[in-house]
Amino acid sequence: MFQEPRSASREVNHCGAGCRAGEDLAGGSYLAPSSAASPNWVGEDGTSSSPAQHLGLCQTHPQISPPSAESSANFPSSPPPLLSASITPQLQEEESLYRELLSHPPYPRASRCPHTQTLSSSLTALAPRTPLDEPHSPWIALLMPSRFYNKVQDLHLGAGGSAANPLLAYTLIKRLQSDWLNVVHSLEASENTQALKNGYTQVEKDLPEFEDLEGAARALMRLQDVYALSVKGLAKGVFQRASGTHLPDIYTPGQLFPLSADDCFLIGKVAYDRADYYHSIVWLEEAVSLFRVSYGEWNTEDEGSLEDALDYLAFSYFQAGNVSHALSLSREFLHYDPSNKRIARNVLKYEKLLMESPERAKAEVGLQRPNVTHLQTRDLYEELCQTLGSQPTRYQIAALHCSYETNDSPYLILQPVKRELLRLQLYVALYHDFVSDLEAEKIKGLAAPWLQRSVVASEETQQKAEYRISKSAWLKDTVDPVIVSLDQRIAALTGLDIRPPYAEYLQVVNYGIGGHYEPHFDHATSRKSPLYRMKSGNRLATVMIYLSSVDAGGSTAFIYANLSVPVVKNAALFWWNLHRNGAGNGDTLHAGCPVLAGDKWVANKWIHEHGQEFRRRCGPNPDD
């Protein structure tokens, strides 16, 4: 029997029919589970060191004080618009809610209360800049009915910066003095205030949580790793490969969305909180250089500062064993904030450490990228994701060809399917235009209200996993005739019996940016798997339909077959998971690469062993 490619057992998707309905649609929030609570670091007075123990600090260097949790634990609860819109598709709706709420200027500028501060960061650009849009004006603006606002705005803009016309000067002064007072104390203003507050309350419950933001940051780090992207490039809004790789740019966005120093700081801090210094160092380095450039300018929406970034970066270097770097960054911190006693103490301790063992100064510390999901085939998998299905062998092997297929089915005689053979030893075929645009849209629309965080089978249970980040929903054929006709087509194409319980319901899967499914098998590798609850044997075959295209990434990689299939909208991918003798085929190890840009949708139809006894006959050859 084939051994699974990781130490932790990695099994199949959970089953889509025969399992209880509650299990199928159960699930939690979309993004990854929250990390350990913020560390309760050593305070200025040197008390409380439990988090330091957590990092193994007490055993080695009990005296060094890591950055205080209070200084930057409360990050804004909303991710930058670029990422929020794509990491969780429903965030787009939230953003449009903001827009709706705030579409009539004026609206308040940033305040420090949670939720509103990030609205300003994403939406400030929407409002025209007017003389009223000054730091002192938010509450004025809040109270002002849009009718009056527009009137004043027109006057101000008409003045073109000077009020040379005495009539204009008079009306401006009058508006801002007596008219304005009338407005502020009007019933209209108090009604507006109330409406705005109600709107906020409505929006607040849908705003992303901190764990969503953390998930978004982790998704960016995943993209950085899998596609070997340069962090410097990402901060500038471009998708360049990290130096040392000779791959072309993977994606050229139509518009650049550079990250701010604070955006980079937050990613670095998310990594730091997970004791992942491999990532925290590069992102905090970027944050520090951007904060240095803008030193002295304060953005209300920022949570971190140059000092915070230096603090976290110094400590990350210290944890990674680079004491001299930790020392120079801490000294830089003191240059900006000489009164910080904790950092001053750290400087003394770093100096002492370096005096006691000068070899530390020269120690080159090679940081290892954390292998969070213990993937043993990581390099192969990432290489396949990076090459995006452009393996030359695909065109070099003569036996791989395209053909029209009817499979002797009357259903397909008038409209044969277009088959592209992708591999032979492991039989993988791509059927082009298997569904129409209309059908794809219909299926996505039917599934959308039911999408839940995808789960995987682990032993006898089903649970969320870092190695599968997507949302999914199951569609029975009774929901709509489009599913019935799709089932008919699949049956005709495969020649298999897909009536329940011989096949599962259709599983529709949606991946946002950074969404992925690391190498796995579709078939069960343990008799205890929930797949067997259907009592129709193991998953014999997979038909996977691409319901969307993507802008970049997201290909389906077959690790041992050295094949990666790009997302081809409306095409269906077919492969056998089991040999004819019923044993699982280890060569079917496959993955959904992370989506780099766009929104990926697929639909899975898993066909089971039972019911196919005379349709795919068993054979003694273990390789068939």
- 9 residue type, one letter: S
Nearest distance from residue 290's CB to ligand AKG, in Å?
Answer: 35
- Using CB under 6 A, which of 602, 605, 607, 612 touches ligand AKG? 602
Q: Give the C-alpha separation, 15 to 12, whole Å.
A: 8
Nearer to ligand AKG, 116 or 454 (CB): 454
Nearer to ligand AKG, 117 or 577 (CB): 577
Nearer to ligand AKG, 250 or 320 (CB): 250
- Using CB under 6 A, which of 230, 260, 556, 570 touches ligand AKG? 556
- Using CB under 6 A, which of 13, 230, 280, 525 touches ligand AKG? 13
Token match 């389906």: residue?
A: 556
Q: Give the C-alpha separation, 273 to 37, whole Å.
A: 8
Which residues, 354 to 393, sit near Fe ion by CB under 5 A?
none
Nearest distance from residue 507's CB to Fe ion, in Å?
Answer: 10
By the 10 Å C-beta count (0-12 exposed, 13-18 middle, 19+ buried), 3 is classed as exposed
- Contact partners, residue 50, CB within 8 Å, separation at least 6: 39, 40
The listed partner (ligand AKG, Fe ion, none) that binds 604, CB under 5 to 8 Å by sort, is ligand AKG
Site string for ligand AKG, 79-98 (x = CB under 6 A): --------------------
Nearest distance from residue 616's CB to ligand AKG, in Å?
Answer: 20
- Using CB under 5 A, which of 214, 286, 522, 599 touches Fe ion? 522
Count of positions on this chain that bind ligand AKG (CB under 6 A): 9
Q: Give the C-alpha separation, 547 to 602, whole Å.
A: 5
**Using rule CB under 6 A, residue 592 touches ligand AKG:** yes
Which residues, 488 to 547, sit near ligand AKG by CB under 6 A?
509, 517, 522
Nearest distance from residue 289's CB to ligand AKG, in Å?
Answer: 37
Token match 């104390």: residue?
A: 185
- Contact partners, residue 26, CB within 8 Å, separation at least 6: 452
Nearer to Fe ion, 353 or 465 (CB): 465
**Helix axes 90-102 and 187-204, enclosed angle (nearest 10):** 170
By the 10 Å C-beta count (0-12 exposed, 13-18 middle, 19+ buried), 236 is classed as middle
**Using rule CB under 6 A, residue 560 touches ligand AKG:** no
Residue 264 CA from chain centroid, whole number: 15
Count of positions on this chain that bind Fe ion (CB under 5 A): 1
Nearer to Fe ion, 273 or 522 (CB): 522
**Using rule CB under 6 A, residue 558 touches ligand AKG:** no
- How many Cα neighbours within 13 Å face the side chain of 256? 11
Residue 368 CA from chain centroid, whole number: 22
Q: Cβ of 2: how many Cβ atoms within 10 Å?
A: 14
Nearer to Fe ion, 477 or 522 (CB): 522
**Using rule CB under 5 A, residue 587 touches Fe ion:** no
Q: Give the C-alpha separation, 102 to 195, whole Å.
A: 11
- For 507, 583, 594, the CA distances from 476, given in Å and listed in that order, are 9, 29, 28
Nearest distance from residue 520's CB to Fe ion, in Å?
Answer: 6
Q: Give the C-alpha separation, 313 to 257, whole Å.
A: 24
Q: Give the C-alpha separation, 278 to 224, whole Å.
A: 12
**Using rule CB under 5 A, residue 477 touches Fe ion:** no
Site string for ligand AKG, 108-137 (x = CB under 6 A): ------------------------------
Nearer to Fe ion, 11 or 522 (CB): 522
Cβ atoms of residues 554 and 595 within 8 Å: yes
Nearest distance from residue 565's CB to Fe ion, in Å?
Answer: 12
**What is the binding site for ligand AKG (CB under 6 A)?**
13, 509, 517, 522, 556, 590, 592, 602, 604
